[in-house]
Structure 1
């Protein structure tokens, strides 16, 4: 399962156009790798108490098959956000499709460009009343020193199903390290309980007499792909991984490289596997109105999917690509075919001032009028990756959108993913095709 966090339909359109224009074509006719999949559907993203969702309640939907409250992960809607005890009660906890795969004797893993404890990947393994409780220090802010619920990083290392994941690749070293420790690249740890969860992950593997490897840079990852340990933990940044366009290519693997490493590791299990891959920084760039980066991260997700299609047979491997929620970027104006997708519309406003083809309903790109006159943003270098696309309403962080999101499917039972349906149906459809988990199976 591939997830483009915040990958709205307009994001797909703009990203494919940019990809084509990078190859000196008009762009509109281009196709992201997964847009060639034979089946396309739409998923409704609202959550139990939210018309417009966040990445936490949606993770519960597309990984656990149940809609939940905004801000909560892996628990039913009986758990309010920030409740310090309820998520520990077993009757409120949800089981993910990763757990269903493990219970059938298959392997499981997660890959993300965010922290591995962030909302989306946490949906595969965590039960929490607050997505922000990534380390124990976070939980103590809301629940005090006697917090009952284990933080998300602790759950990944010590609780089922996270402690059984064969592959964990992404960012977020700081959530695993004590606040007295500085990591390999100078980021201080955030844990207040003194635990080094990276070391504890290694000790756990030693106790099981299995091979393992912890890596923190690209070269080490490439070596691990060759040596093929039983368990692989890769944490490549203190927090989120770098944007692709800003990344240090010698230390930072690409999403396609992470995906290939995970697939090669998990493919050793003859019964199969479940892998979750997230292009998580599409969302972050949108929140900051950094439209160039958002589109580039989408293109990087496409490259990762393309690599997966090369490594996995369409006959026996179901690949589903979707998003958790939309964003409020729009494509507007009456630009002629092949017009620069990052540039201004061919049209002018009624005030005679240009406007951009891509803009946001809200966010930090808002520019106040000067003497009642709108600013001409074409005076800036709008190809600069730090250019803030214009926004209509001033907000420190741009909001999500409530649009339906696209679902693309290839492989066994792909035709089931057509139509319009609840986001919470996705893991059940995947489980049906894979013959795992509760409910009916294709092989019954």
Structure 2
């Protein structure tokens, strides 16, 4: 074995050669790492110690079988396994490290499982049918929310039949006297948050104008925004935070950003929400910007809509006017923590998915890091009586592949093809960034927020992926979230832990 001195010399030579390579030649790159780290990793003892430390940590895990007073469900929309892996590396590299051994906050949770995401009628799920599964405990058809598979997409009459409705865990929580709330970076009427309160055969019927355009009567099958503000359980949500003001305002009314609403019925649902809370004699607040949100104090109900449409990507947002997902989550917990019976909170990092749909890998990964920060913030302020579950609704087609050297820029190249042209480590199976034939990408700024990573098949919007997604859990009964199971089992397990719902519970 080489002496310590020669080992150090070898490492120095290796790192100096790698660091000297040009950055745009398409070859594998390696960021220089601390010399001591490189030396340690060349010693087998280092890895044996890491293995033993991991074993000892695993042995310390002991199931917590106390009843969960509160449940927080974090949903990373489209947060595939590849997304989690690439995001952890980007996070580490942003902090000056190699990145591979970095971890997103929720990856440290003690228990992990896998969820099978398919719909009743589709091999690959969308955010609508999956929301019905992980919030209502029932698998449904593609494009439908809060209804059984007896309802086909776009069947207005069938969706209006209460017999076809699927109550969500938010209903179970409210029936048990718990407070409920939703937080999202998308429109609050988008598919995922709608799963907590809505019943519709078409996920796109967010305002009455959408239903009229489709040739149906909103009085027969109410739009999603109307359901949120005027019917249970949405009307009882203590917290509603996200985007989508346009779906709540008439088309002749301008919002805070001077943008018009889209409603045809002339109803101002924001005013309707305020009037309902006034009739209840409750303290309420409607806010539309970051400062107003952070200034909210001592209210029973909180409604915050921070954009006419979806909230801005974190990389694009004005931090002075638009709150982060972590800040919205903190505000929600401030309100919900006043509940003596506990609460159920749904938090969605929704723009992970939308970044992937446009082949914007950098934005998708950044949104994943922001999502992790929201989980970290929540975990830091809740008590041991809170079950936290993190999962995704479906995967995406982004791949993390090639043979890049350790420490290679995750937004960079994975190697060269047989045509001697470089290929990126991150790429998509399909989507809008498709180019005919191979080309030299070395002069492009792959760190630009709007850089589109290559796709193999031309589509206007990249599709979802059908593989299983991860489930991370911490808190009371979190150990039951291990293994591989159907996605619709998730709300049953959450309900069991907090003793709500019609099924078996820890209390029964």
The runs of 4+ residues in structure 1 deviating greater than 4 Å are none
Q: Give 3-state SS (helix, strand or coil) of 2:442's partner.
A: helix
Q: Sort the Cα spacing of 1:206 and 1:42 in 2 relative to 1 into closer, same or farther, 3 A.
A: same
Instruction: Give the drift of 1:377.
Output: 1.6
2:355 is the alignment partner of 1:285: yes
Separation in structure 2 between the aligned mates of residue 220 and residue 20 of structure 1, nearest angstrom = 33
Separation in structure 1 between the aligned mates of residue 206 and residue 471 of structure 2, nearest angstrom = 29
Per-residue Cα deviation, 1:342-366 (whole angstroms, up to 9, x for no partner): 0011x21000000000000000111
Separation in structure 2 between the aligned mates of residue 202 and residue 165 of structure 1, nearest angstrom = 13
The equivalent residue for 1:392 is 456
2:422 is the alignment partner of 1:354: yes
Instruction: Give the drift of 1:378.
Output: 2.0
2:408 is the alignment partner of 1:336: no
After TM superposition, list the pairs within 5 Å mapping 1:371-410 onto structure 2: 374-410=438-474
Equivalent position to 1:309, from 352, 369, 379: 379
Equivalent position to 2:434, from 366, 373, 384: 366
Q: Give 3-state SS (helix, strand or coil) of 1:361's partner.
A: coil
Q: Sort the Cα spacing of 1:94 and 1:236 in 2 relative to 1 into closer, same or farther, 3 A.
A: same
After TM superposition, list the pairs within 5 Å mapping 1:162-177 onto structure 2: 162-177=234-249
Q: Give 3-state SS (helix, strand or coil) of 1:391's partner.
A: coil
Separation in structure 2 between the aligned mates of residue 187 and residue 30 of structure 1, nearest angstrom = 42
Separation in structure 2 between the aligned mates of residue 311 and residue 287 of structure 1, nearest angstrom = 33
Separation in structure 2 between the aligned mates of residue 310 and residue 324 of structure 1, nearest angstrom = 25
Q: Tell me if the contact between 2:401 and 2:426 (Cα under 8 Å) persists in the aligned partners.
A: yes
Q: Tell me if the contact between 2:112 and 2:473 (Cα under 8 Å) persists in the aligned partners.
A: yes
**TM (normalized to structure 1)?**
0.97
Q: Give 3-state SS (helix, strand or coil) of 1:274's partner.
A: strand
The equivalent residue for 2:10 is none
Separation in structure 2 between the aligned mates of residue 184 and residue 139 of structure 1, nearest angstrom = 25
Separation in structure 2 between the aligned mates of residue 153 and residue 387 of structure 1, nearest angstrom = 34
The equivalent residue for 2:134 is 62
The equivalent residue for 1:416 is 480
RMSD value over aligned CA atoms? 0.8
After TM superposition, list the pairs within 5 Å mapping 1:72-221 onto structure 2: 72-145=144-217, 147-221=219-293
The equivalent residue for 2:299 is 229
Which piece of structure 1 moves more, 180-189 or 115-124? 180-189
Per-residue Cα deviation, 1:367-421 (whole angstroms, up to 9, x for no partner): 112xxxx111222101001111000011110000001000000000000000000
Separation in structure 1 between the aligned mates of residue 78 and residue 152 of structure 2, nearest angstrom = 24
Which piece of structure 1 moves more, 140-149 or 243-252? 140-149
Q: Tell me if the contact between 2:125 and 2:394 (Cα under 8 Å) persists in the aligned partners.
A: yes
Q: Give 3-state SS (helix, strand or coil) of 1:244's partner.
A: coil
Q: Tell me if the contact between 2:156 and 2:216 (Cα under 8 Å) persists in the aligned partners.
A: no
Separation in structure 2 between the aligned mates of residue 269 and residue 147 of structure 1, nearest angstrom = 34
The equivalent residue for 1:243 is 313
Per-residue Cα deviation, 1:301-324 (whole angstroms, up to 9, x for no partner): 0000000100112x2100000000
Instruction: Give the drift of 1:271.
Output: 1.1
Separation in structure 2 between the aligned mates of residue 363 and residue 354 of structure 1, nearest angstrom = 20
Instruction: Give the drift of 1:144.
Output: 3.4
Q: Give 3-state SS (helix, strand or coil) of 1:439's partner.
A: coil
Equivalent position to 1:320, from 364, 382, 389: 389
How many residue pairs align between the two structures? 436
Separation in structure 2 between the aligned mates of residue 187 and residue 38 of structure 1, nearest angstrom = 46
The equivalent residue for 2:326 is 256
Q: Tell me if the contact between 1:84 and 1:147 (Cα under 8 Å) persists in the aligned partners.
A: no
Q: Tell me if the contact between 2:208 and 2:218 (Cα under 8 Å) persists in the aligned partners.
A: no
Q: Give 3-state SS (helix, strand or coil) of 1:277's partner.
A: strand
Any gaps of 5 or more consecutive residues in structure 2? 1-72
Instruction: Give the drift of 1:145.
Output: 4.5
Separation in structure 2 between the aligned mates of residue 311 and residue 263 of structure 1, nearest angstrom = 9
Q: Tell me if the contact between 1:287 and 1:399 (Cα under 8 Å) persists in the aligned partners.
A: yes
